[in-house]
Every structure is written in structure tokens, then in C-alpha cells.
Homo-oligomer: A and B are copies of this chain.
Amino acid sequence: MPKENMLISSIEELYTISKDKLIGEHGSISINFANRSHVSASNDIVGNCLQEWLPDWFHYLGVSIKPGPSTQVFPDFVAEFNDQAYEVEIKAWNCNNNPAFDIANFYSFLETTYEKPNKINANYFILGYKPASDNFAEGFTLEKLYLKKLYQICGPSKKYPLNIQVKRNQPYAIRPISFYKEAPKSFNSPTEFIQAVKETFIMFPNPRIAFTPEEWATRVLSMLDKDDQIAIR
């Protein structure tokens, strides 16, 4: 499909075309085993299947994509347009609920971004689906599609500068805020996000991490585009 490839020259264009063609579309997942069929009714499965389906779609549109090292590791895939590579994560959630997908384990995120600060600039393709009936017996429909930068889906929580899952006073996953609402409380810039991560790191010190919150923030900030480099407190 090289012809179609010529048409799509940026990730924003890929997003616009996908939004146009996919929103309102119907889907279903069926498992057939031992000659007995079952339509999946679990958010985990619908979400994971959509995450698996989307790269096929991009491929069909003629976009050059390479899968990431594994489904467990960031990014899900790398898309190339005019020799520019974009790291893309795919997330999906039942938009009858608040999004509760995990963005990353907090300490793993600190370590990964300390090594590769440009991961702060990752693109998120986010699919919001709804069951087609009361449950998933009749499948689901795609209601929403978003293309967001990481900082645009993160924000403060009531208790912490960054919305994170905390168990027994230990930080676990970084979680999205309700980024799709009107006037969401998401961060306005990568710098705001970095500041919030730094403050959260100060609240949850970890002697097993080889750098300080200050060192982390300085290093990550130094990699941002000049435009985004506003003085950090």
C-alpha cells in the first residue's frame, strides 16, 4: 500500500483519518474453544484486543510501524513518517468508567526516563469504547479516539502532585486523570508534568534509586525542546 503511505505524512494525520473512519464502528471478540463459542465480556480483554488490532489498522493504511520490544515494555510501537520516528503507546478503556489503565510503575518510569528522557514526549493513542448493550453480549462500539502527549493525560490528584496509585504508602502505577472531560485538570506542559513527578518523588523517597529528584528533573528538562523549557521551581 505505498500509495496510501504517501497520503499520511504525520501522526496527527494518521489520528484524523483513524478518528474519521473508526468512531461509531462496532466490534466484538469471540473465543471459540472445543467447538464452544463465547463472546468476551471483560474490559481487560476488549482493551487488550483493541490494542492488538490498531497496529494492523495502521499497517493497512500504509503507515510504516515497528512493534516495540514487548507488550510489557514501552513503547507499543514506533511509527515512521518522512524519516521521523514517533514512539506510540496504545491504551483503551471502557468510557462508561473513569480511565484506570496503568501508564507506568512510578519508580520504573523514573529510571526509564533518567536513561532516555525523550520518552517524556511519547504519543498516546487512546480508544474509548462502550458495550453495545447492557453488557458486552452484543459487542462494543468505539466512542472516542484521542491522540495525546503523556503530560496531557496526567495531572494532580487530591492527595499528590501526580495522580498515582498508592498502596501501603508506596507508589505503584502512574494513572491517567479524566483527561477527556471539559476543562480537565491535566498538566499544561511537559515542564508542569516534570515538576509534579519531581515533587512526588520527593514525597516518596527511595534509597534504591541512584539519583535524586533534583538530578532526575534537571536531566529530563535538559532534553526537552527549547519551547518547553520554562524555569522549574
Chain A interface residues (CB < 8 Å from chain B):
21-22, 25-36, 38, 40-42, 44-45, 48-50, 52-53, 56-57, 60, 71, 107, 142, 168-170, 206, 208-209
Of the candidates A22, A25, A31, A44, the one having the most CB atoms from chain B within 10 angstroms of its own CB is A31
Least CB distance, A164 to chain B, in whole angstroms: 16
Given contact pairs A26-B34, A31-B50, A45-B48, enumerate 14 new A-B contacts (beta carbons under 8 Å): A25-B33, A29-B29, A30-B30, A31-B49, A34-B57, A34-B142, A40-B49, A40-B52, A41-B52, A42-B48, A44-B48, A44-B71, A168-B206, A170-B170
Chain B residues in 8 Å Cβ range of A208: 168-169
Judging by beta carbons under 8 Å apart, are A53 and B27 in contact?
A: no
Quickly give the copy total for this chain: 2
Sample (24) of A-B pairs whose CB atoms are under 8 Å apart: A21-B34, A25-B33, A27-B34, A28-B32, A28-B33, A29-B31, A29-B49, A31-B50, A31-B52, A33-B49, A33-B142, A34-B57, A36-B60, A38-B49, A38-B52, A38-B53, A38-B56, A40-B49, A41-B52, A42-B52, A44-B48, A45-B45, A45-B49, A169-B208
Nearest CB in chain B to that of A140: its residue: B33
Cα distance, A31 to B24, chains bound together (Å): 16
Chain B residues in 8 Å Cβ range of A26: 33-34
